[in-house]
Amino acid sequence: MEKYRDLHLMPVNFEESLIIACDSSASIGEKEADALKVSPEIVASLAVRVVLMEVLSLNAQPQLLINLFGNEMEPTGSLMLKGIKKELALAGFPKLSLNGSTEENMPTKMTSFGLTLIAKAKQSELKIKQARAGDQIYQVGKPLMGQELLNHFDQIITYQDLYYLLSLGDVISEIVPIGSKGALNEALQIASFNQLKLRADQDQDQFYQSAGPATSLLISVKPGLKNQLLSSFTNIQWVGELY
């Protein structure tokens, strides 16, 4: 089994691997002890978005989603399940298999849950460790989190954006959802995993900003693709170059 970023890859035969992604949330919901008051439906849908973006970016296909709710089924669990199913349908997986559990024995005062997504991919098609010297690194989409995300939800990267990038084939070496440490950190990880170095623009504050629930992506692309990307995305920033 191999660990790659926040994922685990487990070969099941000589051609295919399982990809396992996880996410969790606590103190965000509508219970009395929650620090941020947001509908559990929205919180769960965004958590599903995180694990979906992680596996889809590698060119893997979801197989099973496991949801572990630290709350009662009614009403909190039902709202979270509604958000999960809505997000799966939005991504194109309305019939994805689900499994899970709820907390029915103890009363709870804080919303919490965890998700595990299991996906499958052909090893030859995984977008892992494919970047090469000369690749250009771009941030696609605006990094958003918290209240700013709720205020500008229409600016986040969509599944259609991701599927378009995947459709470009090998000219896109790697696609990485930007995490809590920002675009520059993800770019440095791409360089490290591929035993390369990064020549980067380190002066832009947004490259250090958390992208919350995968609201923006980092892509490593072959030289010469800039004009095509600029015509396809309104919010795209050059981060650096691999060498």
Domain residue ranges of the chain, discontinuous segments joined by +: 2-125, 136-242
pLDDT at 149: 83
How is residue 54 written in tokens?
């992680």
Looking at residue 157, the DSSP 8-state letter turns out to be: P
Q: Which amino acid is at 243?
A: Y
Does the pLDDT at position 20 exceed 90? yes
Does the pLDDT at position 203 exceed 90? no
Measured distance CA(177)–CA(182) in Å, rounded: 10
pLDDT at 218: 96
Measured distance CA(95)–CA(191) in Å, rounded: 37
Contact 13, 60 (CB under 8 A): no
Does the pLDDT at position 147 exceed 90? no
**Per-residue pLDDT tens digits for 45-88:** 999 999 999 999 999 999 999 999 999 999 999 999 999 999 99
The residue with greater pLDDT, 241 or 151, is 241
pLDDT at 164: 96
Looking at residue 12, the DSSP 8-state letter turns out to be: S
Find how far residue 153's CA is from the centre of its chain.
15
**Per-residue pLDDT tens digits for 129-139:** 999 999 999 99
% of the chain residues with pLDDT over 90: 81
Does the pLDDT at position 145 exceed 90? no
> Mean per-residue pLDDT for 223-228?
86
**Number of separate helices (H) and strands (E) present in the chain:** 6, 13
Q: Which amino acid is at 224?
A: G
Does the pLDDT at position 18 exceed 80? yes
Provide the pairing of β-strand 136-140 with 28-29.
Answer: unpaired
Confidence class for position 226, pLDDT limits 50, 70, 90: confident
Confidence class for position 40, pLDDT limits 50, 70, 90: very high
**Per-residue pLDDT tens digits for 148-158:** 887 887 888 99
C-alpha closest to that of 138 among 78, 45, 227 = 227
pLDDT at 93: 98
* DSSP-based three-state secondary structure for 132: coil
* DSSP-based three-state secondary structure for 89: helix
The dihedrals phi and psi of 97, each to the nearest 5 degrees, come to -65, 140
| 14-23, 78-87, 195-204: least confidently modelled range | 195-204
Question: CB count, 10 Å around CB of 58?
Answer: 24
Average pLDDT of every residue of the chain: 94
pLDDT at 148: 83
Superfamily of domain 2-125: PurM-like, N-terminal domain (3.30.1330.10)
What pTM value is reported for the model?
0.94
Does the pLDDT at position 202 exceed 80? no
Question: CB count, 10 Å around CB of 62?
Answer: 22
**Per-residue pLDDT tens digits for 169-185:** 999 999 999 988 999 99
